[in-house]
Amino acid sequence: MPTDQIKPLQEWWRGAVIYQVYPRSFLDTSGDGTGDLQGIISKLDYVAGLGVDAIWLSPFFTSPMRDFGYDVADYCDVDPLFGSLEDFDTLVAKAHHLGLRVIIDQVYSHTSDAHEWFGTSRLSRDNEKTDWYVWADPKPDGTPPNNWQSVFGGPAWTWDNRRRQYYLHNFLTSQPDLNLHNPDVQEALLSVARFWLDRGVDGFRLDALNFGMHDLALRDNPPRTTFETEPTRPFDFQDHIRNLSHPDLPAFLERLRALLDTYEGERFTVAEIVGPQPLSEMKEYTRGHKRLNAGYSFDYLYADEISASHVQKVSDNWTDGDDSGWPAWAFSNHDAPRVNTRWGGEEADTATARLFAMLSLSLRGTVFLYQGEELGLPQAEIPFDRLQDPEAIENWPETLGRDGARSPMPWTESDHYAGFSSVDPWLPVDMRHFPLAVDRQEADDASTLNFVKQLIAYRKKSRALQRGTISFLQSPADLLAFIRQHDEEILLCVFNLLKNDIRWTEAPDSPFSVLHTNRRAVTAELPEVIPALTGFWLKKTK
């Protein structure tokens, strides 16, 4: 693999910008309405042109697609829907030639029930993979062994007639949980990691990591006693101290890190942590230099609104010490409604999209940018009869669902399917996305796309934004203001996240000049009145 095109940089991932590609919805080149690896390959020049450091590919592995690839049937092959291993090798080679690193998802907590491992395990109670999954006898009355609930609704246990036992599934019934306590399972998963590392990948995003181990005594979860938001699923009513976040999990992470460290060049690992106590677990999984590099935070992804106090609270959780762990932020992804709609509402405009982009790229941590976020796409409206996501169908119409964030990428405004496919796509293209297509925005110097490129380019050359400290300033309660600093480089970041103007009479006295603002009106200095929904990046000039 031609990795020589990537310039070595110690801990390159600190402060990096990583572009998430959702393969199903990026570009269809085969004419079946679903995106594929060749589509990604053909658009890598576009991605590199954004100035990002790496791409993260959501699952493309062999799968029955009941959870759209997060139900893996073969960890070491590409699903024919997306292409072949040869296509993947071509993708990695071209990405590296363009200076892009490649991060892929790894799903170690569960497989598909179509995986051959599960097919063997369910045959009997005395075969070579008997204990590769979590099996349990029923209670004397035939009910499941405990009260654990699945994320997608209903008990986390399903009866299997072949073994006359229940198997655990924290997600869909077709996603049986692996028994990561079993050393043989750990070895098999490390072999999977080795397979992809040998093909040149630069790191992994570990999906639903803290579901990877369970309480061996299978004790009940206690009920939750307090709720920040109203529960919407049986899963929400429990304190998940038995089926999540087992204390033995970090030991496996150290084995994984030791494997990655045997490869030349620095590999990156980031953990997706879900549940009631994500912060403490992210710190545990990233502590020191023998575990993971970063924790993938949901503090913004699951926030229904944004405020100055929320940003400061989240940031204060991560100190500047070498042993404090490193955060990774995402405002949008394939599992959360797009940020432009979630925070900006239906009236969100171009300036609002730019504001959120500025905020994301000013934070201390690694930034994940979801495909279409650079275009300022709103959440797509998907009619019920076109929904694909089982969670969206189950909860209709109570939530925005995940399909609205997974709609096809709009490449060409004038094309019938926005340049994504030659046929009706697996999800429809929202009509509001056509005028935001890549070709139209590339031709407009004042577009959101070109604005985001400018921000990424500045961040890439700014040590203050990449790796500097962050310190919050005293300001009116609803105004967000902080300093990013690295050695002599000092940047002031100011954001009015409200829909009304805010007067700030006690801004820093030192001279700061405006670098970027999300509003088109040019101003050289920070005004005393910060307009509604307006952000500024300013550099200290003396």
CA–CA separation, 321 and 301 (whole Å):
25
Give the DSSP per-residue string, 430-460: PGGGGGG-HHHHHT-TTSHHHHHHHHHHHHH
Give the DSSP per-residue string, 100-160: -EEEEEE--SB--TTSHHHHHHTT-SSSTTTTSB-EEPPPTTS--SS--B-TTSSBSEEEE
- Is there a catalytic annotation at residue 424? no
The catalytically annotated residue of 28, 36, 207, 335 is 207
Are 338 and 404 within 8 A, CB to CB? yes
- Is there a catalytic annotation at residue 207? yes
The catalytically annotated residue of 272, 281, 389, 391 is 272
CA–CA separation, 342 and 349 (whole Å):
13
What distances in angstroms separate CA 169 from CA 38, 238, 318, 505, one per listed residue?
A: 33, 16, 33, 56
Nearest to 293 by CA among 55, 23, 13, 43: 13
CA–CA separation, 369 and 329 (whole Å):
9
What distances in angstroms separate CA 134 from CA 70, 152, 173, 175, one per listed residue?
A: 18, 18, 13, 12
Amino acid in position 306: I
Give the helix/strand (H/E) hosting 38.
helix 37-42
CA–CA separation, 525 and 221 (whole Å):
56
CA–CA separation, 317 and 279 (whole Å):
8
Three-state SS for 237? helix
Residues annotated catalytic, as ranges: 207, 272
